Structure 1
Amino acid sequence: MLIFSGLWHYDISNVILKFSYSFISYFFQLLYTSCVISFDIVAVSLLKKDVFQALEVFSRMTYIFLVVVKMFLVQTKKIKNIIITMTSEEEKIHKQANYHLKSIYAYHVNYCRLIIFWIVIFLYAAGLINIGMGFNQYFKWVDSVHRNDTTQVPRPHAVPFWYPFDKEKHYYIAVFYQIFHIYQTFTVNSSIQALMNSVMVFIRAQLKMLQYQIKIFDSEKFAEGGEDNTHFPKRNLRNLVKKHQEIIWLVSELNQSFTIIFVLEYCITSLQLATTLIQLIQGLKIAFNIAFFMHCFLQLLALAWNANEILLESSIGTTRALFESPWYQHDKDCQYMVNFMLMRCNRPLTMSIGPFGLMSIDMALSRLKLSYTCVTVLQARTG
């Protein structure tokens, strides 16, 4: 998905293809980024004419701004290293893991696909409905022109853009660009959401596999040929401690890469949900606003849910697995390593929202409550 959206510039050996891909990618990213300025100009011009339409344009502007920031952040070297690390770990699972570990990983793969499917479905639904409404308005305009040749009603546009040219004179160019903008939003945002949720679900899968291995760390199936039964449990535990440290490092890298995204989601989503709810209350673009509201809500809920799962599995889940393991049947060295991991579980792995605290389910619910508050305030101001 990253390759298809133009956000993956690596692993292309052919110099000409790599240059061509990079040039096209950066050109279209620059084109997409310019949409924020277009929306801003339109929103300011509408403030004195139609407040509700200005709110709609402002909501779209904040949404595109959030997508643009994500677009640049997922192309950093740190994210590339995280993807490479995940890919190598996945290859190890497919080649070296036993049936139970592969089953745990397969479950999380299907779970991740389901999350991404529903986020993308509502994203595509909102975009296609938007395009459909644009065509419907255009055909109504054509019909009105045929019935009344003296009409001066301007031709409709699916997306309220500002253009550096006369959009009535070059109407079809403007409409083509609007449809292409919606297509870019499809590909860019869906690939970003797939990446973010995949990384977080991957960490949860790693924690669940770690818990399974902890519970059977002295199982003979892990013993190498000719190894003394008194030594292989210690070796297994040592490897599990290293694995635990690798997961901690991965979460730390993820936090550093995604903190800005989480902060923007935390600050902007409430406004997006509030402005969408206001339009629903006003009876404007019902189908589009329902799809867009569900997409924004699921996008936030998925991040919050997966972050909450990492928090629970890194603390309660791993602690329970350590207590259920046969640690009491082994020597002090094994008991020391188990105790070391227990102490580390007292500091659960969390996703940070910068100065606003931790990403969790409570955070997602608080955004819904805040959006309702914003709706009541905006209705009081505009009513």
Structure 2
Amino acid sequence: MMSGGIWMLDESKRSLAFVIFYRFYSMAFPVYCASMATSLAIEIPNLISESSTAVMENVARALVVAIVVTKLVMCKKKRIVDLFEAASKQFAEIAGNADPEIIKILQQHVEYWKKILLVLVVPVIFGYLLLCEMGIENTIRFDWLSKPPNVSLNAPLPSNFWYPFDKNAYHHWLLLDQCLRVGGITTGMNSVAAMINSLMVFMRLQIKLLQHHFRNFDKYGGGPEDLRWCDGGGTSKLRLLCRRHQELIAYVEKFNEALKYIILLEYTSSSIMFAGAIFQIVSGEKVVFAFFFMVFNYAQLMTFSWNCNEILTESAELATALFESDWYLSNPETKTLILIMMVRSQRPLILTVGPFGSMTLEAGMSRLKIGYSYASVMATSSE
């Protein structure tokens, strides 16, 4: 997230020079990425007479880049920074706990988060390195090619960018420029995906901890500091846990309000890129690179949908966790409170895609179907 210019926390622990540099970088990075969309869009009229496929590719790429830049700008809103600040404080509290069961739950989620990062990052790295390798290989062939007399050939470049000068004269520098731009936009995509998934994994961690506390509400030791030495036995601790549940519900509502449009754009861009990758594979252009790009977009959509589905199902299990406690040994007041909490837990926590409903595995598959339909339309149009 720091590489994408959207990490705004812990500035007090950094030097003044680093803070100034990073603030400048966080403003300059989206502008640099936006220049890629501008170059792609300006080049579209020059491609109309050459290839309809190249035109559609440039339109799709320019649209995706514009969406990514919009997401990078939106990720710097105060509401999102506040979400991370709250998550950081609670994570520090959980990490300092002495309960071995809580530490085990925390470690499981840390390992789970590392696996998600691998799923998101590895296909992008391979695809990006392959694109750079293809550009370098084509450039070497162009340099050593025996050109027929009086024939003008255009230098091969990975993408159809517009430049205000002769591409053949500076094609080595243009290859470097395109590799840097593509690297920047892929970094931006990964940064936003990592940010969203990290908050989702944190919410899942909070739900799992609540399940643990619900099962053991009548036992002392462990848990947050304000739950260890509460007076009144299990009833008092249960009231505090009820408050924690309400805080988690409020956190999910803030998440939906702050990120609903970012997630909508994330789904939209992933669907378009997934469709573009399928179209390239079908048309036989840059098949290996398109395959890695398709895997990345599939992984991005599925990690979002999977984490949202986990939050929905695990939050519904809070009632089961209460039932698995020793509720039958409690006094009537505690039993009444347990019933109230079980009724509220029947309403699961739901993350939404803007105004278009909840994010689930079914919703993720529907986006993939939309992307496939879009690819079919592009293939038909090109024919």
In the alignment, the residues of structure 2 paired with residue 36 and residue 371 of structure 1 have an alpha-carbon distance, to the nearest angstrom, of 21
1:102 partner SS: helix
- 1:371 corresponding residue in structure 2: 371
For the structure 1 residues 187 and 263, does the alpha-carbon distance in structure 2 shift closer, same or farther, using more than 3 Å as the test?
closer
Percent identity between matched residues is 29
Report if aligned partners of 1:9, 1:21 keep a CA contact under 8 Å in 2: no
> What are the ranges of 5 or more consecutive residues in structure 2 without an aligned counterpart?
none
Opposite residue 6 of structure 1, the aligned amino acid is: G
Report if aligned partners of 1:52, 1:279 keep a CA contact under 8 Å in 2: no
* Equivalent residues in 2 for 1:23-42, closer than 5 Å: 23-42=24-43
1:79 and 2:46 equivalent? no
- 1:65 corresponding residue in structure 2: 66
Deviation of 1:48 after TM superposition, in Å, equals 4.1
- 2:52 corresponding residue in structure 1: 51
Report if aligned partners of 2:124, 2:296 keep a CA contact under 8 Å in 1: yes
> What are the ranges of 5 or more consecutive residues in structure 1 without an aligned counterpart?
none
Deviation of 1:211 after TM superposition, in Å, equals 0.4
**Greater alpha carbon shift after TM alignment, 269-278 vs 5-14:** 5-14
Deviation of 1:195 after TM superposition, in Å, equals 1.5
For the structure 1 residues 175 and 329, does the alpha-carbon distance in structure 2 shift closer, same or farther, using more than 3 Å as the test?
same
For the structure 1 residues 285 and 93, does the alpha-carbon distance in structure 2 shift closer, same or farther, using more than 3 Å as the test?
same
2:11 partner SS: coil
In the alignment, the residues of structure 1 paired with residue 132 and residue 278 of structure 2 have an alpha-carbon distance, to the nearest angstrom, of 21
**Greater alpha carbon shift after TM alignment, 195-204 vs 176-185:** 176-185
**Greater alpha carbon shift after TM alignment, 88-97 vs 197-206:** 88-97
**Greater alpha carbon shift after TM alignment, 248-257 vs 260-269:** 260-269
2:58 partner SS: helix
Opposite residue 181 of structure 2, the aligned amino acid is: H
- 1:7 corresponding residue in structure 2: 6
* Equivalent residues in 2 for 1:285-324, closer than 5 Å: 285-315=286-316, 317-324=317-324
* Equivalent residues in 2 for 1:269-348, closer than 5 Å: 269-315=270-316, 317-348=317-348
- 2:214 corresponding residue in structure 1: 214
- 2:119 corresponding residue in structure 1: 118
1:355 partner SS: coil
Number of residues of Structure 1 aligned to a counterpart in Structure 2: 378
In the alignment, the residues of structure 2 paired with residue 222 and residue 294 of structure 1 have an alpha-carbon distance, to the nearest angstrom, of 42
In the alignment, the residues of structure 2 paired with residue 346 and residue 314 of structure 1 have an alpha-carbon distance, to the nearest angstrom, of 8
Opposite residue 312 of structure 2, the aligned amino acid is: L
* Equivalent residues in 2 for 1:101-250, closer than 5 Å: 101-145=102-146, 148=148, 150-221=150-221, 231-250=232-251
1:96 partner SS: coil
Deviation of 1:37 after TM superposition, in Å, equals 1.8
CA RMSD of aligned residues (A): 2.4
**Greater alpha carbon shift after TM alignment, 369-378 vs 122-131:** 369-378
TM-score by length of 1: 0.91
TM-score by length of 2: 0.91
Report if aligned partners of 1:101, 1:209 keep a CA contact under 8 Å in 2: yes
For the structure 1 residues 372 and 228, does the alpha-carbon distance in structure 2 shift closer, same or farther, using more than 3 Å as the test?
closer
> Residue by residue, what CA displacement relative to the aligned partner does 1:55-110 show, whole Å, maximum 9, x if unpaired?
22233223322321221122111111111111111111121241001111110111
